[in-house]
Amino acid sequence: MNQVSVTWSDGSDQRVWSGSLKGVVHGNQLRVRFCSDGAFGNEEFVCPNYEPESDLFALRGGKLVWYKKQDSGFERYMTLKRVAARRERKKPGE
């Protein structure tokens, strides 16, 4: 069984939402649980307290698709795209 544990961020320059994610790979799907750094109001699942398994990610046609758990199963939420990591610029004199 392949397990995954990573940190995440929404990547915005405004209100930054971030936390951790852990999950288990089943074939081409990753079923995950999230916790937050507490910045957006869900105090019940502040890291290291993870929520119950809620979402899954799957490779579809070379793209990573995010599915949210609904009462009747999983519903497509969004397709994620790769973005190069930002590098912090050195200030003159550093």
- C-alpha 71/C-alpha 86 separation (Å) is 37
For the chain, 94 residues long, give each residue's pLDDT as a single digit of tens: 699 999 888 766 666 678 899 999 998 899 999 998 875 555 778 888 899 988 999 988 888 999 999 988 999 999 987 766 666 666 666 5
Q: What is the pLDDT of residue 18?
A: 85
**Tokens standing for residue 41:** 């109001």
Collapsing DSSP to helix, strand or coil, 40 comes out as coil
pLDDT digits (tens, 9 = 90+) for 14-35: 666 788 999 999 988 999 999 9
> pLDDT value at position 46?
87
Half-sphere exposure of 37 (CA within 13 A, CB side): 10
SS3 44: helix
Give the model's pLDDT for residue 24: 94
